[in-house]
Amino acid sequence: MDIMFNPGARQISPMQTARFAVPEEKADQSAEQSQDKLELSPEGQQAAAEAPGLDQGWVNMTKDELMSMVREQLGEQKLEVNWNATVDPDGQIWCKTYFDSYISQSTAFRDTAETIIKGYYADAYQEAINNPLGSDLPSQLNFIAAKYQCSWTAYFDASMPAGERQWTYTQVRAMLTGTGLRLNDPYALKDIHIPTVEETTKIARQAADDKISDLVRQAKEASGGE
User: Does 116 have pLDDT greater than 90?
Assistant: yes
**Cα-based distances in Å from 146 to 76, 168, 173, 196:** 85, 12, 12, 35
Q: Give me the pLDDT at residue 164, please.
A: 95
**What rounded mean pLDDT belongs to the chain?**
78
How many residues in total does the chain contain?
226
What tens digit of pLDDT does each residue of 22-51 get? 555 554 555 555 555 556 566 656 655 555
Ranking 90-99, 132-141, 204-213, 216-225 by mean pLDDT, the lowest is: 216-225
Q: Give me the pLDDT at residue 1, please.
A: 47
Q: Give me the pLDDT at residue 3, please.
A: 47
User: Does 13 have pLDDT greater than 50?
Assistant: no
What tens digit of pLDDT does each residue of 136-195 get? 999 999 999 999 999 999 999 999 999 999 999 999 999 999 999 999 999 999 999 889
Q: Which residues pair with 37 in a beta bridge?
A: 62
| Positive/negative CA dihedral, 107, 111, 112, 116 | positive
Q: Could you say which DSSP state residue 135 is in?
A: S
Q: Which residues, 6 or more positions from 114, have their beta carbon under 8 angstroms from its beta carbon? A: 181, 183
Ranking 37-46, 119-128, 130-139 by mean pLDDT, the lowest is: 37-46
**What whole-number percentage of the chain has pLDDT above 70?**
63
- Name the band, by pLDDT with cuts 50, 70 and 90, for residue 86: confident
Q: Compute the average pLDDT of residues 55-75.
A: 60
- Cβ pair 106, 200 in contact under 8 A: yes
User: Does 125 have pLDDT greater than 80?
Assistant: yes
Q: Give me the pLDDT at residue 188, please.
A: 96
pTM (2 d.p.): 0.58
User: Does 130 have pLDDT greater than 60?
Assistant: yes
Q: Compute the average pLDDT of residues 73-92.
A: 70
